[in-house]
Amino acid sequence: MPGKRKSIPYKIKVRLLKEVENHCPFCRNEDTEHLEFHHIDENKENSVFANLLAVCPTCHSKISKNDISMEQVVRLKEMLGLRKKEREKFVPKEIKSEYPGGAPAFLNFLKENLRYPKDAIDREISGTVVVQFVVDEDGIVSDVEALSGPPELHAEAIRVVRKSYRWLPAKQNGRPVKYYSKQPIIFQLKKEKGFLESLFS
């Protein structure tokens, strides 16, 4: 008595449906609940991904009757693999620009270089200034501008970001690229001994 046919693992079924974008690759039938899995070499025990193709029942029957030839099935499976490689080739693999050492290092840089405007301290103005700037392929900072936050704090936020000068450039597909970065600069006051001062002073 022949043994029980080995079932196709669930993960492979999911990959097969994704490969054909959830429709029959021959007739475009989108009834995914009824798609079947054809064994290309006709060995029902060989249930590896490369030997399987998701098709609708009608097209599966046509393959069995050779109305759709083995050559057509193999060619289609190869084409689907090539299409996947092409899609992966053009998926952006982006790494954002970053201050050397990351956020902790940038905070230390602010502590050493940010100068809270005296007029803003006297008027008790605090808040967060969002600064936009360009980091080029060499990591050089340029085109710095303040997008939001108290206007009285804009000039200092722009000055300190310009002073940061060189960042780690962004990368796309492994190559350095020009990148528009945004950085919040927090201006916070503390009260000590009856007067206000900057947390960074």
Regarding whether 102 and 80 lie in a shared domain, the answer is: no
Range of 54's domain?
10-89
Predicted pLDDT at 88: 57
Predicted pLDDT at 196: 43
Boundary-marking domain end, from 41, 63, 89: 89
Burial per residue of 96-135, b for 16 or more beta-carbon CB atoms within 10 angstroms, e otherwise = ebbbeeeeeebeebbeeebebbeebbeeebbeebebebeb
Cα angle value 29/32/34 (rounded, 5°): 90
Q: Which of 201, 175, 177, 199 has its CA nearest to residue 189?
A: 199
SS3 104: helix
The model scores a pTM over 0.85: no
Regarding whether 47 and 28 lie in a shared domain, the answer is: yes
Residue 4 lies in a domain: no
Q: How many CB atoms lie within 10 A of CB 182?
A: 10
Question: Which residue type does 107 have?
Answer: L
Regarding whether 114 and 58 lie in a shared domain, the answer is: no
pLDDT averages per 10-residue partition of the chain, 201 residues:
66 87 85 84 90 93 92 89 64 77 89 90 90 92 91 94 91 87 86 48 42
Regarding whether 140 and 71 lie in a shared domain, the answer is: no
